[in-house]
């Protein structure tokens, strides 16, 4: 791309923002050197990398690239076999630590499960090798940039131990001299000169103090003398220091040799982590700008959806929809000053450059960009005082250069084309330039105030008008781009709002041509129609939204009703089941009580009390939805009543079948399920909805009832394994059911055992009033392990 377009469209400011996001020096270099690409495959790769990095940022959080040093000079020295210093080795270790951290962030483990999360960055992360043994060895030997660890080698440890011992001896000897020679010393301190321990001796006592003079004070009153007693120890200390230095050099050489064995991997790691720094900087910029990956094409089509200029405050910028290249290849934008025309040009140009550089653009998903070989822009005041060029001349010089270089693979942006000179000539020049570019099918966007260019766009196929909307009432632009509608300068309306007298405005209107007035009136009518249509569309969308909201609300209510219905039915079934089970238990218990009373000669008073209790319990449950009761009919009379008739017992609220005809008192037996009870004819009602059957069917109906009951009773009961109490309880209920079912005889299986269960059964049978006889089973009846019971 040409440097002028990059500067005019402020691409360098985007690059500056990008560079600030990089954490390494090489990452910043890569960001600073990023330029728009001309190959679609390279653009696609860069965009995919940015998208995948952004996805990782959103999924796993930010990735730090701090602690990365430029080790390229050190790697060059390792390649030729040179030894590195402690600082260089520590920087290599720091880079390896960063490599380990970055590889862990990438989450690549080499397992098959990683295949599900592979993207364009997986290969980068997989190729990283932290060289942990090398990094640990460097950190073990080198504590800081100025200190080597004692444990770096056994020799160094021994030397440093000897140095400490020698230092202790020197200090001990010097302390002794200090105490014995206080009168000849200037100060009672130990100092060092040229790496040797000395004492500050007064100049007048130099001949009385034996030793080597190493220095003197600026006044000459003090001499720094090394006592003869520590000369040998100082010599030993100097020798040990030299050995220490040699050993440290040897340690650094060994570490350098170890690092040199991995120089290729170190170089790959460095280039990869700094390259990832570059990629994640692009992703971070996209996250900050709320950008998205554009869709590129080779057809010259641009279709930006809600595009925002990345250098304008996000709280103030107004998104615009721009398209060009599909059904038209030239867009002429008109409208008042400060309406957003220039921002529109810069937005399209800058987003094109950013997209081709692999950067995401601040626009909605699936926005389209075309790949251009060059972007040319003539925007802004190009007046040059040094070259004595006016604004018009400077613009025209730039335009001439553009016309010479532009081709069908170029995007050309003109701001105020033809301005700065006579309007008539400027409009003619602008129309001619645009016509030339249009014939060559060069994608062009131009802003203008000339009405001639509006007419040119209306009358030329492949050229379309656009305008930046302006609110005359508030005298402020809305910055909305309206494609297909030419704009007005609104000079008269703005002037009137600002207070210019009407008679001056009317006079001005007379001075413009009739054709111009007609054209402006046409534009005004179009603008009013557009506003009306947009308002109606907004209302329609609002109605649709309300309808959709109501539909969702109705669907939700229907779902709630259906859920409530299912819940109520479920609760009703559960309640009915409980009532039925309770009724069965009450009926069984009542039958046993009545049978005992009949056998044991119970009082009528107790039976009536139990019957009243049953009626109370039934009345408590009468309000529950346990099913639809038979429709009661008229009162029955003794003459109309036959055995087998269906009746409704009003006091009990139960349906039954007549078992006997009424006696003179009107009492009769009615069979109500498992309950057979004596009731009075006054408490009976005929059931009208059931057909009365002939008398000849009575025996058949009675037989069916008996057979139905008998079919549910087993001819034998097995009490083996039960305790005496459990067995007697089960036997009591079984005999009740069998007797009601009119079974002639049953078999009670109690087993042989100790005979205790058999004796308990026989004792119970002797007391039973409705047992006619019982005996031990025969050969084919279980022998002594069973008892045969016959009913009365």
762-790 confidence digits (pLDDT tens): 888 888 877 888 888 887 777 888 899 98
Select, from the ranges 590-604, 653-667, 705-719, the one with the highest average predicted confidence (pLDDT).
653-667
- Region 735-742: mean pLDDT is 81
- Region 448-454: mean pLDDT is 84
- What is the rounded end-to-end Cα distance, in angstroms, of the chain? 118
- Region 414-423: mean pLDDT is 83
Instruction: Specify the pLDDT at position 617.
Output: 65
How far, in Å, CA of 242 to CA of 681, rounded? 133
- List the alpha helices (DSSP H) in 601-664: 604-620
419 or 68: whose pLDDT is higher? Answer: 68
Is the Cβ–Cβ distance between 436 and 427 less than 8 Å?
no
Per-residue pLDDT of 172-226, as tens digits, reads 888 888 877 777 888 888 888 888 888 998 888 787 787 888 888 888 888 898 8
Q: Detail the DSSP E strand segments found in 352-497.
A: 368-370, 374-378, 410-414, 443-448, 463-471, 476-483
Instruction: Specify the pLDDT at position 697.
Output: 44
77 or 469: whose pLDDT is higher? Answer: 77
From the CB of residue 603, how many other CB atoms can be counted at a distance below 10 Å?
9
Select, from the ranges 135-149, 225-239, 448-462, the one with the highest average predicted confidence (pLDDT).
135-149
- Region 625-652: mean pLDDT is 69
**Out of 147-156, 164-173, 262-271, 429-438, which region has the weakest mean confidence (pLDDT)?**
164-173
How far, in Å, CA of 206 to CA of 209, rounded? 5
Q: What pLDDT band is residue 562 in, cutting at 50, 70 and 90? A: confident
- Cα 735 to its chain centre, rounded Å, is 70
DSSP string, 649-708: ETTTTEEEEE-S---TTSEEEEEETTEEEEEEGGGEEEETTSPPPPGGGHHHHHHHHHHH
Which phi and psi angles does 85 have, rounded to 5°? -80, 175
592 or 325: whose pLDDT is higher? Answer: 325
Instruction: Specify the pLDDT at position 771.
Output: 85
pLDDT at 65 over 90: yes
DSSP string, 468-526: EEEETTTTEEEEEEEETS-----HHHHHHHTT--HHHHHHHHHHS-HHHHHHHHHHHHH
Instruction: Specify the pLDDT at position 707.
Output: 46
pLDDT at 680 over 50: yes
How far, in Å, CA of 717 to CA of 720, rounded? 9
pLDDT at 704 over 60: no
How far, in Å, CA of 342 to CA of 790, rounded? 114
Per-residue pLDDT of 324-371, as tens digits, reads 988 899 999 987 776 778 889 999 999 999 999 999 999 999 999 999
- Region 727-734: mean pLDDT is 84
Instruction: Specify the pLDDT at position 584.
Output: 76
Per-residue pLDDT of 1-26, as tens digits, reads 788 899 999 999 999 999 999 999 99
Is the Cβ–Cβ distance between 128 and 65 less than 8 Å?
no
How far, in Å, CA of 657 to CA of 702, rounded? 10
Pairing of strands 147-148, 142-144: antiparallel
**Out of 11-25, 96-110, 233-247, 253-267, which region has the weakest mean confidence (pLDDT)?**
96-110
Burial 422-442 (b: 16+ CB within 10 A, else e): eeeebbebbbebbeebbeeeb
Helix axes 132-141, 231-260, angle to 10 degrees: 170
Instruction: Specify the pLDDT at position 575.
Output: 80
From the CB of residue 642, how many other CB atoms can be counted at a distance below 10 Å?
13
Q: What pLDDT band is residue 381 in, cutting at 50, 70 and 90? A: low
Instruction: Specify the pLDDT at position 703.
Output: 45
Helix (H) or strand (E) holding 139: helix 132-141
- Cα 48 to its chain centre, rounded Å, is 21
Q: Which residues contact 539 (CB under 8 A, 6 or more apart)?
A: none
Instruction: Specify the pLDDT at position 684.
Output: 86
Q: Which residues contact 391 (CB under 8 A, 6 or more apart)?
A: 381, 382, 383, 419, 420
Q: Which residues contact 646 (CB under 8 A, 6 or more apart)?
A: 630, 655, 656, 657, 686, 687, 690
Indicate the average pLDDT of the chain.
83
Half-sphere exposure of 633 (CA within 13 A, CB side): 15
Instruction: Specify the pLDDT at position 701.
Output: 45
Select, from the ranges 98-107, 601-610, 634-643, the one with the highest average predicted confidence (pLDDT).
98-107
254 or 171: whose pLDDT is higher? Answer: 254
Half-sphere exposure of 239 (CA within 13 A, CB side): 8
Instruction: Specify the pLDDT at position 698.
Output: 43
Helix (H) or strand (E) holding 775: strand 771-776
Beta bridge partners, 776, equal 787
Instruction: Specify the pLDDT at position 212.
Output: 85
pLDDT at 90 over 90: yes
Q: 139: exposed, middle or buried (C-beta count within 10 Å: 0-12, 13-18, 19+)?
A: middle
Is the Cβ–Cβ distance between 658 and 670 less than 8 Å?
yes
Instruction: Specify the pLDDT at position 694.
Output: 44
**Out of 319-328, 546-555, 609-618, which region has the weakest mean confidence (pLDDT)?**
609-618
How far, in Å, CA of 202 to CA of 590, rounded? 131
């Amino acid at each position: 791309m040409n440097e002028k377009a990059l500067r005019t469209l402020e691409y360098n400011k985007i690059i500056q923002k990008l560079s600030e996001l990089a954490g390494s020096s090489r990452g910043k270099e890569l960001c600073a050197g990023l330029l728009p690409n001309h190959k679609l495959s390279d653009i696609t790769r860069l965009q995919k990398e940015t998208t995948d990095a952004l996805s990782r940022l959103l999924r796993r959080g930010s990735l730090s690239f701090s602690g990365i040093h430029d080790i390229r000079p050190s790697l060059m020295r390792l390649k030729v076999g040179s030894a590195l210093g402690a600082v260089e080795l520590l920087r290599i270790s720091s880079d390896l630590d960063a490599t380990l951290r970055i590889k862990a962030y990438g989450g690549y483990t080499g397992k098959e499960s990683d295949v599900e999360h592979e993207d364009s960055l997986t290969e980068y992360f997989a190729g990283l090798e932290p060289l942990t043994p090398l990094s640990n060895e460097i950190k073990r030997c080198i504590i800081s940039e100025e200190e080597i660890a004692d444990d770096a080698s056994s020799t160094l440890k021994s030397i440093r131990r000897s140095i400490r011992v020698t230092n202790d001896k020197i200090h001990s000897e010097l302390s002794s001299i200090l105490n014995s020679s206080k009168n000849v010393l200037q100060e009672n301190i130990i100092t060092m000169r040229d790496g040797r321990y000395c004492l500050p001796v007064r100049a007048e006592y130099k001949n009385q103090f034996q030793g080597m003079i190493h220095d003197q004070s600026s006044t000459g009153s003090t001499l720094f003398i090394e006592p003869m007693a520590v000369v040998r120890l100082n010599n030993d200390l100097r020798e040990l220091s030299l050995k220490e230095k040699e050993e440290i050099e040897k340690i650094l050489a060994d570490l350098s040799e170890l690092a040199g064995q991995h120089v290729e991997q170190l170089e790959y790691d460095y280039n990869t982590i700094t390259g990832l720094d570059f990629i994640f900087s692009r992703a971070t910029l996209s996250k900050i700008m709320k950008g998205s990956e554009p869709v590129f094409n080779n057809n010259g089509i641009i279709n930006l959806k809600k595009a925002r200029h990345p250098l304008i405050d996000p709280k103030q910028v107004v998104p615009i929809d721009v398209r060009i290249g599909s059904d038209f290849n030239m867009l002429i934008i008109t409208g008042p000053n400060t309406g957003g025309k220039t921002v529109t040009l810069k937005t399209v140009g800058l987003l094109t450059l950013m997209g081709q550089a692999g950067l995401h653009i601040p626009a909605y998903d699936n926005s389209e960009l075309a790949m251009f070989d060059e972007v040319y822009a003539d925007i802004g005041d190009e007046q040059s005082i040094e070259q004595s060029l006016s604004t018009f001349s400077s613009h025209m010089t730039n335009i001439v250069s553009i016309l010479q270089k532009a081709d069908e693979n170029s995007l050309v942006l003109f701001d105020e084309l033809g301005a700065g000179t006579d309007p008539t000539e400027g409009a003619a020049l602008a129309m001619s330039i645009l016509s030339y570019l249009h014939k060559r099918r060069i994608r062009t966007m131009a802003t203008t105030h000339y009405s001639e260019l509006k007419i040119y766009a209306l009358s030329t196929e492949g050229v379309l008008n656009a305008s930046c909307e302006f609110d005359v009432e508030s005298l402020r632009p809305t910055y909305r781009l309206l494609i297909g509608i030419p704009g007005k300068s609104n000079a008269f309306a703005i002037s009137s709002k600002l207070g210019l007298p009407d008679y001056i405005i009317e006079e001005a209107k007379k001075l413009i041509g009739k054709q111009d007035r007609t054209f402006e009136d046409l534009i005004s009518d179009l603008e009013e129609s557009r506003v009306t249509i947009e308002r109606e569309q907004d209302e329609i969308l609002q109605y649709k939204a309300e309808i959709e909201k109501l539909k969702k609300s109705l669907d939700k209510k229907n779902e709630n009703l259906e859920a409530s219905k299912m819940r109520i039915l479920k609760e009703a079934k559960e309640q009915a089941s409980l009532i039925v089970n309770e009724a069965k238990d009450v009926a069984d218990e009542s039958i046993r009580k009545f049978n005992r009373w009949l056998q044991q000669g119970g009082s009528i008073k107790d039976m009536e009390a139990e019957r009243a209790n049953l009626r109370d319990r039934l009345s408590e449950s009468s309000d529950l939805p346990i099913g639809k009761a038979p429709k009661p009919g008229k009162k029955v009379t003794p003459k109309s009543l036959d055995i087998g008739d269906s009746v409704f017992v009003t006091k009990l609220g139960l349906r039954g079948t007549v078992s006997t005809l009424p006696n003179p008192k009107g009492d009769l037996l009615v069979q109500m399920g498992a309950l057979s009870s004596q009731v009075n004819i006054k408490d009976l009602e005929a059931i009208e909805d059931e057909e009365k059957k002939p008398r000849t069917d009575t025996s058949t109906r009675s037989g069916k009832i008996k057979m139905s009951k008998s079919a549910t009773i087993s001819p034998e009961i097995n009490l083996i394994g039960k305790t005496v109490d459990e067995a007697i309880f089960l036997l009591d209920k079984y005999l009740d059911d069998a007797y009601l079912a009119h079974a002639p005889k049953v078999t009670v299986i109690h087993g042989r055992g100790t005979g205790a269960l058999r004796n308990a059964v026989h004792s119970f049978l002797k007391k039973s009033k409705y047992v006619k006889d019982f005996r031990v089973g025969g050969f084919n009846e279980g022998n002594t392990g069973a008892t045969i019971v016959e009913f009365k």
